[in-house]
Amino acid sequence: MTEYLTESYDYALPSELIAQRPLEPRDSSRLMVVDRARQTIAHRAFRDLPELLAPRDLLVGNRSRVIAARLRGSKLPTGGAVEILLLRARGDGAWDALVRPGKRLAVGTRVGFGDREVFAEIVDRTEFGRRAVRFVDRAGRPVAPLAFERWLDAHGQMPLPPYIQEPLADPERYQTVYAREPGSAAAPTAGLHFTPELLFKLRERGVGLAHVTLHVGLDTFRPVEVEDLREHHIHSEWCELAEPTAERIATARRVGARVVGVGTTAVRVLETSGGQPYQGDTRLFIYPGYRFRVVEALITNFHLPRSSLLMLVSAFAGRELMKRAYEVAVAERYRFFSFGDAMLIV
């Protein structure tokens, strides 16, 4: 069937439509409004969001914070240049990471950094050619989590997506204003459009804001390679939906209000948990045919061709409507991807 063919989620995008820098202020981005029931497409600004949501609607955003996950060091004792990109913390005290040059970094290799206070040790090979990396001090003892967090803030770099070629003047522009929980290698970008002032206006309107956490990995940018998307194995990411958020979801449902997912990461948490308290990994891959249990409206950015994220929004809005929306977005010169414009699907 056509909806299961990966090529059905491909589209042509002029390179100049890939946003290289965020707009100021955050909420000045454009907002495409897609109505599933009416099959209509309208054009607004993100700052208009309070007018487009109803009192008692509940926004649910991902409060994960991007860490300074890119590290540059040297292989010991030879001195060869090494790059490590941290993807997610493992339960054994190590990190799952991408390393370069991968072929030269066998298990047992040690990597040093400028301060020579903290070292990285390659302790295992993992899936997709990655490595498990443990951070130790000069004596070979594991670095305590809080001490490592401070060290990483001082020595790591913000891992911008590969399609962004311009340096980011202010690293905080790749964080949402409500980011609190460090752990992501990429931002939950639908939330980048919110400002404190817009959140205040939403509260005045009677719209609620609750939070979940999903630590985003760089697999979010990995295109689906198989012809039949049902054969694709999605990445695993750690997520949490806490009791207070579950209670607010239950209240919204009870009064007939909508649960509005802010971004595909929040949607995956909500649908993994069913709106109930949850903590653990998710490998939920949402594509057309999926029946949504919790999410009734969605705020999202414009996604890469052939990506699992585009498949998720196509499952929510319908593949044909989403195909038309993307054609309109290109024709109307919307800005795409992480620093691009947004879409509200109702």
The pLDDT assigned to 40 comes to 98
The pLDDT assigned to 292 comes to 98
Structure tokens at 251: 């209240």
Q: Please, which residues bridge with residue 133 across strands?
A: 95, 122
Q: Mean pLDDT across the stretch 12-38? A: 97
DSSP 310: H
The pLDDT assigned to 298 comes to 98
Contacts of 139 (CB under 8 A, 6+ apart): none
The pLDDT assigned to 115 comes to 80
Q: Residue 234: which pLDDT band, with cuts at 50, 70 and 90? A: confident
Q: How far apart are the first and last CA of the chain?
A: 26
Contacts of 16 (CB under 8 A, 6+ apart): none
Q: What is the DSSP string of 37-68?
A: TTTEEEEEEGGGHHHHS-TT-EEEEE-EEE--
Please say if the pLDDT value at position 218 is more than 80: no
Please say if the pLDDT value at position 219 is more than 90: no
Note the pLDDT tens digit of each residue in 41-64: 999 999 999 999 999 999 999 999
Nearest to 214 by CA among 193, 194, 234: 234
User: To the nearest 10°, the Cα dihedral for 313, 316, 318, 322?
Assistant: -30
Q: Mean pLDDT across the stretch 171-184? A: 96
User: Hunting for tokens 């100049």 — which residue is that?
Assistant: 16
What angle do helix axes 308-317 and 319-331 make, rounded to 10 degrees? 110
Please say if the pLDDT value at position 263 is more than 90: yes
Note the pLDDT tens digit of each residue in 79-111: 999 999 999 888 888 999 999 998 788 999 999
Counting beta carbons within 10 angstroms of the beta carbon of residue 1, is it exposed (0 to 12), middle (13 to 18) or buried (19 or more)?
exposed
Average pLDDT, the chain: 95
Q: pTM value?
A: 0.94
- Among 95-109, 120-134, 168-182, top mean pLDDT goes to 168-182
Please say if the pLDDT value at position 126 is more than 90: no
Nearest to 156 by CA among 193, 191, 184: 184
List the domains of the chain with CATH numbers.
2-66+168-345 (3.40.1780.10), 70-155 (2.40.10.240)
Q: Mean pLDDT across the stretch 70-81? A: 94
b/e string for 159-182 if b means 16 or more Cβ within 10 A? Answer: bbbeebeeebeeeebbbbbbbeeb
Beta-sheet pairing, 30-35 with 119-125:
unpaired
Note the pLDDT tens digit of each residue in 270-305: 999 999 999 999 999 999 999 999 999 999 999 999
